[in-house]
Amino acid sequence: MKLLKVYDILLSTSGPQNWWPMDGGFSPKEWEVCIGAILTQNTSWNNVKKALDNLKKENIVSLEKTLGTNEKKIAELIRPSGYYNQKAKKLKGFAEFVKTFGNVNNFLKNIERDQLLKVNGIGPETADSILLYAAGKASFVIDAYTKRIFSRMGMTGKEIGYEELRKFFEQNLPRDSRIYNEYHALIVDLGKKVCKPKPLCEKCPLGRKCKKII
Ligand code: SF4
């Protein structure tokens, strides 16, 4: 089955997901996406929300405020997201990197994937999330749900690596950040609700097209 067909089925059955999930209060608003993309490493979104709320309560909502707050204080505030000492270090390092562009908007306009991947603590999934959901660039985000669903469908191998799977999506879809944005969100929705570790195939909109290699 074609990737675009899968996308059409998921979009028509689940509807637009309106990603990235933002509560607002950060300046610029894309800064919340950048911070959230780092905080969400190895934890659930509920925990990220608590950490973001703590940052908002202390008004640490901008690049300048992140730069001006010491690492220990940031670590305390983001404690709910887990690995908080490591993540505070990553946030500070990332903020220093963004500062080299002058401001967040310049960073988002000019950043390239290779540069982002060189920043300490920014792996491919985090980099692609920032590129796609904060900068609006066409960089497909891969995660564990993507690997699980598309290997079960028989469209990719189980052991496929991040870059190979990203290329598979990017080479088989129109290069359109709006499609990438919606598609990743729809994959996450399906992975959370239906194609779980124990899949609910009888409820799955892809059921008739899926090879169910489980
Ligand atoms: S039919 Fe089953 S295995 Fe295939 S994508 Fe749906 S839930 Fe996953």
For ligand 1, residues with CB inside 6 Å are: 149, 152-153, 194-195, 199-201, 204, 206-207, 210, 212, 214
Which residue, 149, 160, 150, 125, is CA-closest to 139? 125
Tokens of 102: 């002058």
Burial of 68 per CB tally in 10 Å (0-12, 13-18, 19+): exposed
The pLDDT assigned to 1 comes to 66
DSSP secondary structure string for all residues of 56-123 = HHTT--SHHHHHTS-HHHHHHHTGGGSSHHHHHHHHHHHHHHHHTTSSHHHHHHH--HHHHHTSTT--
Residue nearest to atom 1 of ligand 1 (CA): 207
Whether the Cβ atoms of residue 162 and residue 144 lie closer than 8 Å to each other:
no
Q: Which CATH number fits domain 3-18+140-209: 1.10.1670.10, 1.10.3720.10, 2.102.10.10, 3.40.50.300?
A: 1.10.1670.10
110 sits in the region (left: phi over 0; alpha: psi -120 to 50; else beta) called alpha
The CATH number of the structural domain formed by 29-134 is: 1.10.340.30
DSSP letter assigned to residue 132: I
Domain chopping of the chain, boundaries: 3-18+140-209, 29-134
Residues of the chain with pLDDT under 50: none
Angle value at C-alpha 164, between 127 and 189, nearest 5 degrees:
65
Among the atoms of ligand 1, which is closest to the Cα of residue 194?
Answer: 7
Q: What is the pTM of this model?
A: 0.97
Q: Phi and psi at residue 97, in whole multiples of 5°?
A: -65, -45
pLDDT for 209: 86
Among the atoms of ligand 1, which is closest to the Cα of residue 210?
4
Q: Tell me what pLDDT residue 31 has.
A: 98
Q: How many residues in total does the chain contain?
A: 214
Cα of 199 from ligand 1 centre, angstroms: 6
Collapsing DSSP to helix, strand or coil, 182 comes out as helix
158 within 8 A of 151, measured Cβ to Cβ: yes
Q: Which atom of ligand 1 is nearest to the CA of 207?
A: 1
**Phi/psi of residue 4, nearest 5 degrees:** -70, -30
Query: 102 alpha carbon to ligand 1 midpoint, in Å?
Result: 46
Atom of ligand 1 nearest to the CA of 148: 8
pLDDT tens-place string over residues 67-110? 999 999 999 999 999 999 999 999 999 999 999 999 999 999 99
- On the question of a common fold for 3-18+140-209 and 29-134, the answer reads no
**145 Cα–ligand 1 center, Å:** 11
Chain centroid offset of residue 203 CA: 26
